[in-house]
Amino acid sequence: MPDLRAFITELEEEGELLRIREKVDTRFEAATIMGLLDNGPAVLMEKVKDNKTPIVAGICGTRDRICRAIGVLREELHARLLYAINNPVYPKIESEGPVKEIIDSPRLSDIPVLTHFQKDGGPYITSAIVAARGLDAKMENVSIHRLQVLDDTHLAIRIVPRHLYKLFQIHKEAGKPLEVAISVGLHPAIMLAAASSAPFGVSEYGVANTLLGGSLMLTTCEDVSLPVPRDAELVLEGRIHPDQDVEEGPFVDATGTYDIVRRQPVVEVTRMMHRDQFIYQALLPGWSEHHLLMGLPREAQIWESVRGAVPYVRGINLTPGGCSWLHAIISLEKQSEGDGKSALIAAFAGHKSLKHAIVVDSDIDPYNLEEVEWAIATRFQADDDLMLIAGARGSSLDPSGDQELELTTKMGIDATRKLSKSKEAFSKATFSEEYERRAKEILERVGSGSSD
């Protein structure tokens, strides 16, 4: 079974892991190091001030790293994720596992939970998956949620109106607490699956197992009736009580700005299981790893939605500048004049939080923002190719919108070429292949010092 430790070893062998042997502080210092290494190597901070547990971060920090974890090429990623969502295979459950090496009463202060930024409401667990089930124990959901440490046995959990929220509301109406199992320190495939928002009723454990080729194994909890990954580093068991909530935040979310403070439910932690000498996995909110885990599954959803509206989609990019959440670039093979606008409508339908979308032709690389800007400059006319949708559902994370009602104005840009004009009118001039080859040979000789 691939686990976090095996992937750390793989990254180190590939030269993509930085070990820090100096002692770091969980308050601001570790997060600052993570920020400075953004888009760079993963980092293992071996020594932590006032704690014996090392911290690893940046495991899912690049698109290529996530592709390596599930064994696909970049261009195969969306299709592979959609296949796993549509073909989940639930993992086998064993009674024992490495995460059960130590079982104890909870003491959250023993975990090196990070305080990331100056105005944070407190320390936050940011890389945890949360498992829960319905009243009949058949409906299971696994998703990623931020968890604010309140004291040694209580966490505030941010629950947005999705699947975990629905399960919580069902329990709340029945006057019963919702059992949860919180797992930390996981292989990237499990993290990606938990971020995927599979259809309600489909367990993300099944999605992760398909991504891993059937090698995921679960184990049972001690205090709650839930399974957890047997190779997790740390598991917190507990219950969300229906009649208890607190002010949660401030917290920096995907936009890099502080999310608003809300009243959120409280998790009472009743049991802690972990591996001997476990590794704590951290994630820096608002930076690349956060963006990728949030954005990649939504890219797949947009890809599937747009593919139903136009014949051929080359690629989807939820851009880093748009927080990998609010801005999308869609590259497609245009067949008819209305394809661009059809793709925009489909993109907004595929990802409800999407705010701005740009459609370009298949000769434009959606990951090359200079090419995208060139397409807008040469193929877009605002009076004909601009789409505005006012008062639409948006993202609660967007500080420029109505964060309480989640309303925004959406904008679509159709930067595809006009079919009424020749294709050559929109094409960049290129060099002759023969002369380009000869020019490169000349430059190589100059570079090597062998030119006359």
Domains of the chain, earliest start first: 4-284 (2.30.110.10), 289-426 (3.40.1670.10)
Assess whether the previous peptide bond of 250 is cis (omega < 30° from 0). yes
The predicted structure's pLDDT at residue 263: 96
Tell me the pLDDT of the chain (452 aa) as tens digits.
Answer: 679 999 999 999 999 999 999 999 999 999 999 999 999 999 999 999 999 999 999 999 999 999 999 999 988 999 999 999 999 999 999 999 999 999 999 999 999 999 999 999 999 999 999 999 999 888 999 999 999 999 999 999 999 889 999 999 999 999 999 999 999 999 999 999 999 978 998 999 999 999 999 999 999 999 999 999 999 999 999 999 999 999 999 999 888 899 989 999 999 999 999 999 999 999 999 999 999 999 999 999 999 999 999 989 999 999 999 999 999 999 999 999 999 999 999 999 999 999 999 999 999 999 999 999 999 999 999 999 999 999 999 888 788 888 888 899 999 999 999 988 877 778 888 888 898 999 998 999 898 766 55
Q: Is residue 223 a contact partner of residue 237, using CB atoms and an 8 Å limit?
A: yes
What is each CA distance from 383 to 185, 186, 388, 452, in whole angstroms? 51, 49, 11, 56
- Give just the sign of the alpha carbon dihedral 126, 129, 133, 134: positive
What is each CA distance from 110 to 119, 151, 230, in whole angstroms? 23, 11, 21
* C-alpha dihedral (302, 307, 312, 313), degrees to nearest 10: 10
CA–CA dist 55, 24 (Å, integer):
10
The predicted structure's pLDDT at residue 326: 95
Q: Is residue 233 a contact partner of residue 280, using CB atoms and an 8 Å limit?
A: yes
Place of tokens 């923002």: 369
Catalytic residue among 120, 253, 361, 398: 253
The predicted structure's pLDDT at residue 452: 56
CA–CA dist 293, 60 (Å, integer):
7
The predicted structure's pLDDT at residue 451: 56
- Residue 111's closest CA among 59, 179, 52? 52
Place of tokens 């006009």: 418
Q: Is residue 269 a contact partner of residue 130, using CB atoms and an 8 Å limit?
A: no
Token pair for 418:
């006009």
CA–CA dist 281, 285 (Å, integer):
13
Place of tokens 């010092």: 449
The predicted structure's pLDDT at residue 105: 94
Q: Is residue 39 a contact partner of residue 60, using CB atoms and an 8 Å limit?
A: no
CA–CA dist 95, 32 (Å, integer):
40
Calculate helix-pair angle for 63-70, 4-13, nearest 10 degrees. 120
The predicted structure's pLDDT at residue 449: 66
What is each CA distance from 119 to 27, 28, 261, in whole angstroms? 12, 11, 12
Q: Is 68 exposed, middle or buried (0-12, 13-18, 19+ CB in 10 A)?
A: middle
Q: Is residue 272 a contact partner of residue 104, using CB atoms and an 8 Å limit?
A: yes
Is 110 one of the annotated active-site residues of the chain? no
Q: Is residue 259 a contact partner of residue 249, using CB atoms and an 8 Å limit?
A: yes
CA–CA dist 208, 90 (Å, integer):
9
Length of the chain: 452
Paired strand residues for 251? 259
